[in-house]
A and B are shown apart, each in its own frame.
Chain A
Amino acid sequence: MITALNTTEPKIIPLCGQSDLIPNSGICAAVGDQQIAIFFLPDETPQVYAIDNWDPIGKANVLARGIVGDVDGRLVVASPLYKQHFDLITGECLEDDQVSVATYSVTLLANQVQLSL
């Protein structure tokens, strides 16, 4: 369902503006067939985090629509379907160590969110 991003050299893709972000919540951007969930946490450093939008347990593109928070100090999003937590930095699922989602490197620069590949 999700094809790997075919790139050979590092590149920067602009995704959206800061005004598209929702504080303490997520939105979703498309890069080819890939769906990337971007979370904006204005009080953290860094302020933006990106992981796959695909929930490997619920099997739907929904992670951007989960509630963000922390569990034992780890920044996480809880899947809106069945509430498993995914670490925003490592992509690990806290409930099942067999499961994880991809993470992406994003930056918020000059009011723009950029993805570096």
Chain B
Amino acid sequence: MLKIVVVGNGMVGHHYVEQLAAADVEAHITVIGGEDRPAYDRVHLSEFFSGRTPEDLALTTQEHYQELGVEAHFGDAVASIDRDKKTVSTVNGKQFAYDKLVLATGSYPFVPPVKGNDHESCLVYRTIDDLDNIQAQAQGSKVGVVVGGGLLGLECANAVKNLGLETHVVEFAPGLMGVQLDAGGSAMLRRKIEALDVKVHTSKATQVIEANADGDSRLIMRFADGSSLATDMIVFSAGIRPFDQLARDCDLKVGERGGIEVDQQCKTSDNNIFAIGECALFDGRIFGLVAPGYRMAEVAASQLGHDSTTFQGADMSTKLKLLGVDVGSIGDAHGSEAGAVAYTFSDERIDVYKRLIVSADGRNLLGAVLVGDCSDYDTLLQYFLNGIALPTDPQTLILPYNAGGAPALGAAALPATATICSCHNVSKGDIVTAMDAGYCSLGEVKAETAASTGCGGCAALLKSIVDDELTSRGLEVNKAMCEHFNLTRQEMFHIIKVESIKSFAELIEKHGSGRGCEICKPTAASILASLWNDYVLEEKHVGLQDTNDTFLANMQKNGTYSIVPRIAGGEITPDKLIVLGQVAKKYKLYTKITGGQRIDLFGARVQHLPAIWQELIEAGFETGHAYGKALRTVKSCVGSTWCRYGVQDSVAMALYIENRYKGLRSPHKLKSAVSGCTRECAEAQSKDFGVIATENGWNLFVGGNGGMKPRHADLFATDLDDETLIKYIDRFLMFYVRTADRLQRTSVWMSNLEGGLEYLQQVIIEDSLGIGAELEEQMNNIVDTYQCEWKTTIEDPEKLKRFRQFVNSKAEDRDIIFVEERGQPRPATEEERIKILALSA
């Protein structure tokens, strides 16, 4: 039988083995891996620090190889190759004979030859073992330096920062990510990264690293320009070098600057030896990404079968999130082709930079750089990879949508040859073929084609293609919310309303299956509340609610709760402030001013909640619904009453709005603000609905969002009088409650709304659907039936039974332990808790 030996069990070596196994080639495969463990996902290596274990990252196991009939040896590297005898020998003295040899040795991190680079706090970032070392070193460290401001260096800086260290990036070149970005993109990236508190030092050549015997830090780095930097640890991420020593020693052809030379079949200068992945040099280039490596593995494996394929080089476009900053680079980012024309869009207010490089005739996209906003990446990549003719004004591709930007290239517009997943080389045609063969759900398509199972960068595009195909086949797109209901939230809302369903039991009996879960139950509870405004602790609703809704407070990490009384508009009397202080003192609560202009009291034990609320209610407070998918706060500025610029009474309006909509249950939380003039001190444009005073009345903004994906609100209507303002808000909110998906903020809902802002204006201002009056009536109904849930609760002894720590004892939960910090209690850490419990035992 043909003997194949694969040296190196990294991502590419493993892919090769899988290809061969799938191809049914009669062969005995031996794998020799230098690392102690079988292949793992190096691309997602950094997730090790966010809790993914080596097992999670593993791509295969010894057992899996056994099942495939592959002989695998780990933790022993190949030391030499004897091309005449066709054998390899390992460091541990084992020998293996081969007919075909595959070198998949990958590469190693380049450590610049700086004196002192061998200090034990100088590390690299490539393997799981490296990450173990970094984690161990970080333990006693305050400051960490990453040498190298390229792609990997910045990923590494993110890890160092997440380990809690003051983080510096030292780069030899004048800019960050010089390979992928042009100067403008690089400068924008730098600004964004510095804003995250990572210190960037460019044009710095490290000359020596000295141990710092008696200083605060362990090391001092000295630079060529005379400056220096004190640090506790250094991670080198200054590029990679191919592992090609084996090839050199047996006189295979290698490139001038390293790399084992291969041809289109991935053959080296010896007909029986292949090289694939990051150790291979093709056409003078090394491809430092996994997708080209996989292509090489497929090509090399195909040489042993019937239909051999060839390697033609690969696209090196990349999209990634570095330190939370979106960065994308497509094709020739530097515009080096003769006659190329560049378009640049830069918005320093929101730190977005986009650049297009277009061919001299304006027809084709040659390259693109995106920093701060990668939403155009998929579309641009498709233009680039498939040579799709550009629109007459290519700049529209990178302009903001409302400035006349072109819409994204829809799934339907892509040709069948379009590569959708570059990790696994899946084209749109492959996806359509899989669906033709009956694999129709997203999960099935993924399993069948492997699309979107690599870096995950193509997930959104894959989903839109699958959805588009399903629709064009007249099939339903599965939008079921969970295994119990084959309905969207919108459909559920409709059913509950039309059939006047009043309980979850009735709903699941008629329209669902099973017993429900933590997804459908709270969704149904929220709809029942939006429609009928029942008291949420009715016996039939209790089990449906998240703990926050059940206990009318927000659960914290140690099982205690926080309490947020409503402080409408942020306005509070001195007497009420005093009460908050007194209550907090009495029940030993931590107090903090929130980002929503009110005061949060943290650390209340469940059994104290009713007593605390009793006192708060007596002082005139109401619940703030901080626990609910409901109206939260309406922020205000002082407005015309005090402020010399104010043109309307913004506080009074904020109070009116907050009191009108308090208690309204919605698909997600709702926030609002009212500013007294265009200076906008209340930040109304970052809210779900915001109001800004004008000389003549009020401007209404909708669809704003802070949080994970901030969005500026859209101007919806101008110069409204009080009555019209409220009418529009009533309609807007009720229309949102009716039609949005579960956990969809207004911003996302609006972006998904077909027809967008204009459509919304037609529905609400022009009443194009003729539902205006109905929406208002529904809102009035909710406003009229408002009750403070806490007031209702403390008046009902039956309901109070729920607020017992134990049904059979008055004892306290002894695992809830606080320690004092800055004069206030805070939850003990896990270590502190265990120590304190041990002492008290």
Residues of A within 8 A of B (CB): 1, 15-16, 20, 22-25, 27-30, 33, 35, 38, 41, 43, 54, 58-62, 65-73, 75-76, 78, 80-81, 83
The reply to whether A54 and B539 contact each other, CB–CB distance below 8 Å, is no
- Contact residues, B787-833 vs A (CB, 8 A): 801-802, 804-809, 811, 813-816, 830, 833
A66–B518 touching, CB < 8 Å: yes
Q: Check B805–A28 contact: CB distance below 8 A.
A: yes
Q: Within the complex, which residue of A15, A20, A28, A58 is in contact with B557, where a contact is CB–CB below 8 Å? A: A58
Chain B residue at minimal CB-CB distance from A22: B542
Q: Assess whether B115 is interfacial by the CB under 8 Å rule.
A: no
Residue positions of B touching A, CB distance < 8 A: 483-484, 514-518, 520-522, 539, 542-548, 550-551, 555, 557-559, 606, 801-802, 804-809, 811, 813-816, 830, 833-834, 837
CA distance A43 to B548 in the complex (A): 25
- Are the CB atoms of A61 and B813 closer together than 8 Å? yes
Inter-subunit contact A35/B813 (CB<8 Å)? yes
Name A59's closest neighbour in chain B (CB-CB).
B830
How many whole Å from B825's CB to the nearest CB in chain A? 16
A23 to B814, CA, bound (A): 27
- Whose C-beta in chain A lies nearest to the C-beta of B55? A98
B807 contacts which of A24, A29, A54, A71 (Cβ < 8 Å)? A29
Lowest 10 A-B CB distances belong to which pairs? A24-B543, A60-B559, A69-B517, A80-B547, A78-B518, A25-B543, A67-B518, A16-B807, A30-B806, A65-B547
CA distance A75 to B516 in the complex (A): 10
Query: What are 11 inter-chain pairs, A to B, with CB distance below 8 A?
Result: A1-B815, A23-B539, A58-B557, A61-B559, A67-B544, A68-B543, A69-B518, A71-B483, A75-B515, A80-B546, A81-B559
Contacts across chains A and B counted by CB atoms under 8 Å: 104
Q: How far does the Cβ of A80 sit from chain B's closest Cβ, in whole Å?
A: 4
On whether the beta carbons of B517 and A28 are closer than 8 Å, the reply is no
Question: Are the CB atoms of B515 and A20 closer together than 8 Å?
Answer: no
**B547 in contact with A62 (CB, 8 Å):** yes
CB contact between A69 and one of B521, B802, B808, B811 (< 8 Å): that residue? B521
Contact between chains at A65 and B551 (CB < 8 Å): yes
Which of A23, A65, A66 is the most central at the interface, judged by chain B CB atoms within 10 Å of its CB?
A: A65
Knowing that A25-B542, A67-B522 touch, tell me 5 more A-B residue pairs with CB under 8 angstroms. A16-B807, A27-B804, A30-B806, A69-B514, A73-B514
Complex CA–CA separation, A16 to B539 (angstroms): 19
- Which B residues lie within 8 Å of A35 (CB)? 806, 813
B518 surroundings in chain A (CB, below 8 A): 66-67, 69, 78, 83
The SS class assigned to the B binding surface is loop
Task: List the A residue with the shortest CB-CB distance to B515.
Answer: A70
Q: How far, in Å, is A25 (CB) from chain B's closest CB?
A: 4
In the complex, what residues of B have CB within 8 A of residue A28's CB?
Answer: 805-807
Q: Which residue of B lies closest to A73 (CB)?
A: B514
Contact A67 B815 (CB under 8 A): no
Given contacts A54-B815, A69-B516, A69-B518, contact A80 B543 (CB under 8 A): no
Chain A contacts for B808, CB-based, 8 A: 15-16, 29-30
A80: chain B residues at CB < 8 Å are: 546-548, 555
Chain A residue numbers with a CB within 8 Å of B830 are 59
Interchain CA distance A53-B605 in the complex, whole Å: 15
Q: Given A60-B557, A62-B559, A69-B516, do A20 and B807 touch, yes or no (CB 8 Å)? A: yes
Please give, as numbers and ranges, the residues of chain B lying within 8 Å of A16 by CB-CB distance: 807-808
CA distance A30 to B815 in the complex (A): 13
Q: A87 to nearest B CB, angstroms? A: 13
- Chain A residues near B837 (CB, 8 Å)? 1
Which residues of B lie under 8 Å from residue A33 when comparing CB positions? Answer: 814
Contacts of B522 in A (CB 8 A): 67
Q: CA A24 – CA B516 in complex, angstroms?
A: 11
Q: In the assembled complex, which residues on chain B have CB atoms less than 8 Å from the CB atom of A70?
A: 484, 514-517
- Given A16-B807, A73-B514, A81–B555 Cβ distance below 8 Å? yes
Q: Hey, which chain B residues are within 8 Å of A43, CB to CB?
A: 515
- Interface core residue of B559, B802, B804, B807 (most chain A CB under 10 Å): B807
Give A14 to B811 CA distance when docked, in angstroms: 17
CA distance A78 to B484 in the complex (A): 15
Q: Hey, which chain A residues are within 8 Å of B815, CB to CB? A: 1, 54, 60-61
Chain A neighbourhood of B550, CB < 8 A: 25, 65
Contact at A22–B543, with CB atoms within 8 Å? yes
Interface centre among A24, A38, A68, A78 (most CB of B within 10 A): A24
Given contacts A27-B807, A29-B806, contact A67 B483 (CB under 8 A): no
CA distance A67 to B519 in the complex (A): 9
Residue of A nearest to B522 (CB): A67
**A83 to B520 alpha-carbon distance, docked (Å):** 14
* Whole-angstrom distance between the Cβ of A28 and the nearest chain B Cβ: 6
